[in-house]
Structure 1
């Protein structure tokens, strides 16, 4: 018998508890330190592109070397704090992106496993319903609704 499983994942209760505890802690930290922008604010402030990041990096160096040109309304200390926090957040985002990618890839494989097994089950129920198995017929009628573009003889043959 062919096994369609591309991946097997089983989380222990301890792993789920630890993962959710860590995620909750990260969310609490983000809620404490990061504002929630409206879509309009995101559009208004945007994100600086790579060229502008280079400008910020170069201005930081030059500002430290030539403080007499720093306008009075720009606080070099606040600039430095913002700069450091931005770099720390970029590192966090890269790690979160790696986690998100791994979880999405795993979910894709699990979704595929579930879909293939569901299709095999559907084909089995369809076979028994076509053989006039009275118990299989209502099951088939429940499942065939997910194939509205196929007539009963030409159901999903995937």
Structure 2
């Protein structure tokens, strides 16, 4: 992999607009279903955990195979709707998390490319300054504030505990 221009091609205005419009559409579509939970609510309702998900799935299986044995006090249509909604949300969240990872990866690569270009520009300005070209001295001074001028690094000596 080349060390220059690691990022994918830049996003076009059309791609940016389309992505933002689709995101706004998703937000508008789902926002009526969102509920805000306080920290106390999150603790109270918590996560169902894997063992309890197995219980829910087993109850659903028994409901499907032996409905006459199910509690009549439960709204079974609502129970099944909740399961379907949960499965939809779980799959949707996994896709969004994957999308988020890919977006972060792209951002990292764009940041890296920009940083490398900035370093190259700084080196170029130092070269031009040393060649007595007008204007580069102030540019080098402006950019130099972002670099450690001492040239020292902290080295750790191994201790008995870290060996």
The TM tier, using the shorter chain, reads 0.7 to 0.9
- Normalising to structure 1: TM-score of the pair? 0.79
**Which residue number corresponds to residue 159 of structure 2?**
none
- Looking at structure 2, the residues matched to 126 and 71 of structure 1 have their Cα atoms a distance apart, in angstroms, of 81
Does 1:55 find its partner at 2:66? no
CA contact (8 A) 2:8 2:106 kept: no
Does 1:108 find its partner at 2:108? yes
Please report how far the alpha carbon of residue 111 of structure 1 lies from its aligned counterpart in structure 2 after TM superposition.
1.1
- Looking at structure 2, the residues matched to 129 and 84 of structure 1 have their Cα atoms a distance apart, in angstroms, of 67
- Looking at structure 1, the residues matched to 7 and 110 of structure 2 have their Cα atoms a distance apart, in angstroms, of 7
Give RMSD over aligned pairs.
Answer: 2.5
Please report how far the alpha carbon of residue 136 of structure 1 lies from its aligned counterpart in structure 2 after TM superposition.
1.3
- Normalising to structure 2: TM-score of the pair? 0.77
Give the 5 Å matches for 1:20-31. Answer: 20-31=20-31
Give the 5 Å matches for 1:10-89. Answer: 10-64=10-64, 65-70=66-71, 72=73, 74-89=74-89
| SS at structure 1 position matched to 2:5 | coil
Consecutive unaligned residues in structure 2, runs of 5 or more: 153-163
CA contact (8 A) 1:122 1:140 kept: yes
Consecutive unaligned residues in structure 1, runs of 5 or more: none
- Looking at structure 2, the residues matched to 40 and 29 of structure 1 have their Cα atoms a distance apart, in angstroms, of 27
Give the 5 Å matches for 1:86-105. Answer: 86-105=86-105
Q: Which segment is superposed worse, 124-133 or 75-84?
A: 124-133
Please report how far the alpha carbon of residue 67 of structure 1 lies from its aligned counterpart in structure 2 after TM superposition.
4.6
CA contact (8 A) 2:6 2:113 kept: yes
In structure 2, do the counterparts of structure 1 residues 38 and 29 end up closer, same or farther at CA, with 3 Å as the change threshold?
farther
